[in-house]
Amino acid sequence: MQEPTRDDWFFAANDAWDAGAHKKALSLFLKAAAAGETHALNSVGYFLDHGIGVKQDSAAARLWYRKAAKAGDIAGCANLAICYRDEGNFRWARFWFERAYAQGDGDAALELGRLFLWEGPHRNHRKVVDYLTKATLAASVTPDGKKEAGRLLKSMGRKE
């Protein structure tokens, strides 16, 4: 019998997650990550971040997201950016959202527009409009993200 591959572990982990077997899924994601499956790194971080099948551990989640991001996982970049954004570290949030956007995550453009918008009276208006416009035009943005970017542009007196 052939030894399971990293893809086998990853797909089995997702199947277990879908079936509600969270501890089994986490165990399989860890095996896939150890075998070099990049997306599994992000999945382990997500489980730790949200306390799925394990005690919630934000610090450990961030380490896994960072591993995923550095391995080229777009979701790892975005999740790491969200961690920084949620703790108020907008400099690092921008850095990781910019990486996610550069790799094709259209929703990261919306998040970048929001970050620049939140800077209040010192905000860079051009960057706000630029990123929100990019979010409305991105092929890889969620429908809700596209709608939110358009709403924010409209609230600024801009057309989508």
Q: Which amino acid is at 32?
A: A
- Supply the mean pLDDT for the chain: 92
Retrieve residue 114's tokens.
């929001």
CA distance 98 to 149: 16
pLDDT tens sequence across 61-88? 999 999 999 999 999 999 999 999 999 9
Q: Which amino acid is at 113?
A: G
Domain range list for the chain: 1-71, 90-160
Contact 81, 96 (CB under 8 A): yes
pLDDT tens sequence across 92-110? 999 999 999 999 999 999 9
1-71: CATH, from 3.90.1150.170, 2.40.50.140, 1.25.40.10, 1.20.1250.20: 1.25.40.10
When pLDDT is cut at 50, 70 and 90, the band that residue 158 belongs to is low
How far is CA 136 from each of CA 26, 38, 113, rounded to the nearest angstrom? Answer: 35, 29, 11
pLDDT at site 4: 79
